[in-house]
Amino acid sequence: MNEWHIQSRAHACEACARPFVDRQPYHTLLFDEKQDFRRQDVCPECWQKQLRGEGHARTDFLSYWQGVYEAPPAVSEVIQKETAETLLRKLIELNDPHYAAAGYILAVMLERKRILKVKEQIIRDGRRTFIYEQPKTGDVFTIADPDLHLDQLEAVQRDVAMLLEQGLNPPPPAAEAAPVAEAVNPVAEPLAAPPTAAPAPAD
């Protein structure tokens, strides 16, 4: 199962295909597909008729919550400054285990700022996994707990601060220093004069 994952909110009901309108309530169900989690977004009518109606009540979902659909905003200028949320999205897309601890810390930061909300905590294969939702966009984030120890937190927090400051593509390093041999002898010896050409043989 993917330890990191983002699932975007649907823009239409998955049962009747009717588009959601701004500020419309909707229902989200999360299913455990063994290899991954799958979300399903449905309108209130389909929730009542197909999922909660008589003889149709579903119990096979892992988690459930209700949200309010917000129409996506108009395309704006590209965000120049790295934020905790944009960085977390990039790390999840990268899917590099090296950044697992940093991604977890970013998710906790966003939860404390109330940008992400915990919808579910799941224990699977002996590991704790958090299901977060970004209420404004409706995106669902799946973040595995890397089980950090106290003596690891400081180093991870430094990594996160550096990532927020420099991003995933830090500026290229400065020009390399002079070779060690030259640095050891800062006063260079004068170069020997180039050899003179041998006199031409007499005729």
Instruction: Note the pLDDT tens digit of each residue in 109-155.
Output: 999 999 999 999 988 778 899 999 999 889 999 999 999 888 898 89
Per the domain annotation, does 173 fall within a domain? Answer: no
Distances (CA, A) of 26 to 15, 54, 180: 12, 20, 66
Confidence class for position 61, pLDDT limits 50, 70, 90: confident
Q: Is residue 152 part of a domain?
A: yes
Domain assignment of residue 202, yes or no: no
Q: Which of the pair, 148 or 73, is modelled with greater confidence?
A: 148
Q: Burial, 13: exposed, middle or buried (Cβ in 10 Å; 0-12, 13-18, 19+)?
A: buried
Question: What region, left, alpha or beta, does residue 116 occupy, with left being phi > 0 and alpha being psi -120 to 50 degrees?
Answer: beta
Is-above-0.85 flag for pTM?
Answer: no
Q: Is the residue at 49 inside a domain?
A: yes
pLDDT reported for residue 182: 43
Residue 129 in any domain: the answer is: yes
- Contact call for residues 157 and 75 (beta carbons, < 8 A): no
The answer to the question of residue 111 being in a domain is yes
Please tell me the distance from the alpha carbon of residue 20 to that of residue 70, in angstroms, as a whole number. 9
- Domain limits at 45? 5-71+81-165
In a domain, residue 174? The reply is no
Residue 81 has a pLDDT of 52
Total tally of structural domains belonging to the chain: 1
Statement: residue 97 has pLDDT above 80: yes
